[in-house]
């Protein structure tokens, strides 16, 4: 058996220490990589959970504002943006308040509003139908009657009166006025010459309008 010299023993010991150090370093480095991967995986998972939670909250969250359309016996009819949970009285106030001719007995000022709701404020003595919509909101419209006194003259009616017709908003009312100022309506069918008024919309208002 060979006996190593003291110098050889020192060299062998240093080699053993070096190999051990390299092995330990490699193990430590790989272990850190695994830990980093675990941490990154947890962070990604947590971020995905937060995003999913935020998406669910956004889906369930109600809009802060709603848009309603008010016409009839108010001073400034048209589209109005209100806070969610507002009531008819809030829409009336935003539209400049009620005119003296407004029939308060047929208006529920305490009713809560919903987005896209149409509100019509009738005149005292005016005959109207109350149309119940799917969302529970109600809309007042003029009654279809053969009596011409209840019909709107599309050649002389005001913008507010035109907007009281079903399906006629502020934009269409202004188009009707622009058309009659340059052409005038010879018959009620001529209203179909106004951009945005087709056969279907005409059928819904033909019994409610006159030209003479």
Query: What would the pLDDT profile of 8-60 be if each residue is shown by its tens digit?
Result: 888 888 888 988 888 888 777 766 666 666 666 666 667 766 666 565 555 44
Residue 119 near residue 88, CB atoms below 8 Å? yes
CA-based max dimension of the chain:
133
| Residue 133, domain member (yes or no) | no
Residue where a domain stops, chosen among 74, 92, 127: 127
Burial class (CB in 10 A: 0-12, 13-18, 19+), 108: exposed
Q: What is the dihedral of CA 158, 159, 160, 166, to 10 degrees?
A: 110
Quote the number of domains for the chain: 3
Q: What pLDDT, on a 0 to 100 scale, did the predictor assign at position 144?
A: 40
Q: Does 139 map to a domain?
A: no
Range of the domain at 44: 1-61
Q: What pTM value is reported for the model?
A: 0.40
- Looking at 127, 155, 170, which one is the last position of a domain? 127
Instruction: Answer yes or no: is 188 within a domain.
Output: yes
Same domain, 57 and 72: no
Is 112 contained in some domain?
yes
Q: pLDDT at residue 146 above 60?
A: no
In degrees rounded to 5, what are phi and psi of residue 79?
-80, 135
Give the Cα separation of 120 and 128 in Å (integer).
Answer: 10
């Amino acid at each position: 058996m060979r006996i190593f010299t003291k110098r050889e023993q020192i060299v062998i010991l240093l080699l053993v220490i070096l190999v051990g150090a390299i092995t330990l370093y490699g193990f430590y480095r790989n272990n850190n990589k695994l830990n980093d991967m675990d941490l990154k995986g947890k962070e990604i998972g947590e971020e995905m959970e937060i995003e999913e939670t935020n998406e669910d909250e956004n889906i369930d969250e109600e809009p802060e504002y709603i848009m309603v359309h008010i016409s009839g016996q108010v001073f400034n009819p048209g589209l109005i943006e209100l806070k969610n949970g507002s009531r008819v009285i809030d829409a009336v106030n935003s539209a400049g308040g009620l005119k003296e001719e407004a029939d308060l007995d047929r208006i529920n000022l305490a009713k809560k509003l919903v987005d896209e709701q149409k509100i019509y404020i009738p005149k005292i003595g005016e005959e109207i139908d109350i149309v119940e919509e799917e969302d529970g909101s109600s809309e007042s419209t003029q009654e279809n009657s053969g009596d011409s006194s209840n019909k709107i003259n599309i050649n002389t009616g005001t913008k507010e009166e035109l907007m009281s017709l079903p399906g006629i908003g502020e934009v269409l009312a202004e188009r009707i006025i622009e058309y009659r100022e340059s052409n005038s309506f010879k018959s009620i069918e001529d209203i179909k010459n106004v951009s945005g008024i087709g056969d279907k919309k005409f059928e819904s208002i033909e019994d409610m309008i006159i030209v003479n």
